[in-house]
Structure 1
Amino acid sequence: MYLLEINKEHKSLLGVIRHWENLKTAFDADSIWIKDFSFEQINSDAVLQIPYVHMYELKENLLFEKGKLLPSKKLPSGLLWTPIVRALPVSLPGFNHNFFGINHEIEISLIPSEEIKDAFALLVNYNDLKAYIETAPRFRLEPLQWVIIDDKILIIGNPQLPIKGSVYWFNNYFLIPVGYDFEWFSLIKKLQDKLNPSAEKMILWNKDGTYTAISSENIKPLSLSSFRLTFS
């Protein structure tokens, strides 16, 4: 069995794994203990990126630091285990991203994610799309939509075009880079309510946590004629 130990003062760092409902948590005088990790979870990027933690494997009540052959110490006795979602409740007071205009601030970050997500949109250069679309069959373009984002073009829908570019997955009107997800998953609903309350936009997120709001009125079907008309 795998366990994780972290000092109580670093409790907030555990937010990245709080949604793993199989985990159980206990507290002693100075530390927070978490157990019931699967092999995949204990080796995931989400766990490995948490600073100030000690990871152990429990054998006959002895704690072996991950990757070491000799025991470090015994598991404290009398620990009372409870599901992590109860032990670490989400608290959303007045803090938010700096564009929310509320008293406190919190940085919205995207972090690498091992979860496999279906691609939904592709951000490409104008010249790359122009070279493809000039000879592409009509049926290949019909399922897709497009919109101009600064000096690039966002193609929405599937099947995606065989053009190099940045790929995004879709989550409740958010377009998120494939291979990434929000660090603070508990803020997603709050973000939706603040950035897109009427669901009239798509929000394109960048890996650095910045975003672009895309009005649904600017999104149009992809076709050679609409492309030429726009750039004529």
Structure 2
Amino acid sequence: MENWVMVFKKSDLPHLAAVRCWPGLYAAERESEVWLRCPMLHADMDQALRALPAMFSYRQDAQGLLFPLNGSTPVAKLPALDWLPMKQFIPVELPGAALPAQLTQQYGLQLLPSSEYHPGAALKVKLADWQTYAETAPEIRLSALHFALSATEDVLVMGEPLPPLPGVEYWLRDSILLPAAYDLEWPLVAELFNQRENGKGGDLILFEKDGNWQKIEKRCFVPASRAGIRLSYPGL
């Protein structure tokens, strides 16, 4: 299997945040450089990596030899580095934040049971269940889905139709994901909350039944290809 290997200046580290959620990416520091490595399996990933301001880009073969992208002669060998998964190398803390007691002086934001039906937009499942499903699911079903993986090996799957897996289902109100059969008590206050916490629209806000919530960057979702899901296995 060939890998991408890219070398960046440390000052370019903020640019790597754009790809920190892609599965299978590893990074390491070396003096004034940052090295990035990942399998060459996904066209979307390849395109995203090519857009980064790398000083050098290589193909790495199974022996660790580095080749120019369009060359057939090795020019170097991959050095011994302390590789870390990208999410550990560029940590982003996304804890479940305690629900604010007040958004205004008059109203608090609460979740209440709802008798109104809302179609499911997301499903939180265990990584093992998601990987087992992906091994046999038709490609046409996977191609309609995107997923994001948490550090605790929970997977949030979005798309239609959602996979027939055990988990917690959510429906979507604007950019707020709410547990199935629950709704916000005050929709108008919910809109103000979304504007305050997600003014640029780059996040999803995920609510749990107990009122805790967290932000998830929309760019953390990747296409549900079989290859990409395999790269989510712990230790890869």
TM class, shorter-length? 0.5 to 0.7
Selected match of 1:156 from 155, 158, 161: 158
1:53 alignment partner in structure 2 = none
TM-score (norm 1): 0.54
1:208 aligns with 2:216: no
Q: 1:108 to 1:138 in 2, by over 3 A?
A: same
Question: For the Cα contact (< 8 Å) 2:111–2:209, is it kept in 1?
Answer: yes
Give, as a single letter, the amino acid of the residue that structure 1 aligns with 2:135.
Answer: E
Give, as a single letter, the amino acid of the residue that structure 2 aligns with 1:223.
Answer: S
2:195 alignment partner in structure 1 = 193
CA separation in 2, counterparts of 1:218 and 1:126? 16
RCO (CA 8 Å, sep 6+): is it higher in 1 or 2? Answer: 2
1:60 alignment partner in structure 2 = none
Give, as a single letter, the amino acid of the residue that structure 2 aligns with 1:215.
Answer: E
Structure 1 residue runs without a partner (length 5+): 1-96
Give, as a single letter, the amino acid of the residue that structure 2 aligns with 1:224.
Answer: R
CA separation in 2, counterparts of 1:126 and 1:105? 41
CA separation in 2, counterparts of 1:142 and 1:154? 15
CA separation in 2, counterparts of 1:150 and 1:105? 37
1:225 aligns with 2:209: no
CA separation in 2, counterparts of 1:103 and 1:182? 15
SS in 2 for 1:230: coil
1:51-106 CA-to-partner distances (Å, cap 9, x unmatched) read xxxxxxxxxxxxxxxxxxxxxxxxxxxxxxxxxxxxxxxxxxxxxx6388x89595
1:132 aligns with 2:129: no
CA separation in 2, counterparts of 1:187 and 1:154? 26
Selected match of 2:185 from 183, 186, 195: 183
CA separation in 1, counterparts of 2:107 and 2:213? 15
Larger Rg: 1
Structure 2 residue runs without a partner (length 5+): 1-98
The count of residues paired between Structure 1 and Structure 2 equals: 135
CA separation in 2, counterparts of 1:226 and 1:164? 21
Instruction: Point out the more displaced range, 117-126 or 129-138.
Output: 129-138
Structure 1 outlier segments of 4+, above 2 Å: 97-100, 102-108
Q: How does 1:2-151 map to 2 (within 5 A)?
A: 98=100, 107-151=108-152
